[in-house]
Amino acid sequence: MPAQIISGNEVAKQIREELKQEIAELKAKHNVVPGLVTVLVGADPASQVYVGGKEKTSKELGIYSERYDLPEKTTQKELIALIKKLNKNPKIHGILVQLPLPKHINETEVLYVIDPKKDVDGFHPVNVGKLMIGEPDFLPCTPHGIQQLLIRSGVKTDGAEVVVVGRSNIVGKPIANIMLQKKKGANATVTICHTATRDMAFHTRRADILIVAVGRPKAITADMVKEGVVVIDVGVNEIGKTADGKRILVGDVDFEAVKEKAKAITPVPGGVGPMTITMLMVNTVRAAKLAAGLV
């Protein structure tokens, strides 16, 4: 039986429709308009695309949006001064500094300056700590999107064997912690695999739910998974271009082979990717509600 395709495009669309209604009610009942600011340093083409997508989505949903495009030569001191100013702006509920930053700027020091109540990426140590103890204000966007894909696709996580391949601070570590929590869409037994893992296939073949975020094309092959597994592929890897110049993208999982064994699987593109910006909007609305004392 062919695998169910878990469409991030469809789930993201569903969540955005819910958000539109929630934002409209916040404006009508409480005179609260969620506000998001994006800060981009330099002219990295991929970052410009990402920031443009966030700005476009904000406007579509009715979120107030500001954008700062700063030159490559912006100093760390100048960037931090801007963030401190935005921390004090009551119209702004979420601050997103687009990564990566130029090499002369210390990303960690910059992210630590963001007010944790406006840290809609969920990267500040205060928010990471709250996630660890199961009382988060914000969940990191991509891991939160993964959890929503599982919940809204009807995947049972309670007691499931979840194997996470990858231990980044952005995806691997937070999704492992999210899936450990004794909550809906979680309550799983979690194993994390990484570059020092011996016999990775031994672990991945035990997975009821396999979450892969390693940044290597087709790193997970069909012989590394069991029949009936649910696969969430976070990877986006460019392996070439078509004759007309379009990028050829594949995930960290050998999709065509693994889908023959999987119960459900996310495609690349169109799987996890669309969820990240959507969950950023979810966090921005939550930040506005927190600021207004509505949660």
Q: What whole-number distance in Å separates Cα of residue 283 and Cα of residue 241? A: 35
Q: Which residues of 273-285 are buried (b: 16+ CB within 10 A; e: fewer)?
A: bbbbbbbbbbbbb
Compute the Cα dihedral for 245, 250, 255, 256 and give only its sign: positive
What residues pair up with 209 in beta bridges, in sequence order?
Answer: 162, 230
DSSP-derived 3-state class of residue 295: coil
Residues that are catalytic: 54, 98, 121
CB of 131 within 8 A of CB of 179? Answer: no
Starting at the earlier edge strand, list the strands of the sheet with 64-70. Answer: 64-70, 35-41, 94-97
CA dihedral 245, 250, 254, 260 (to 10 degrees): -90
Angstrom distance (rounded) from CA 19 to CA 61: 7
- Per the DSSP assignment, residues forming a β-bridge with 40 are 69
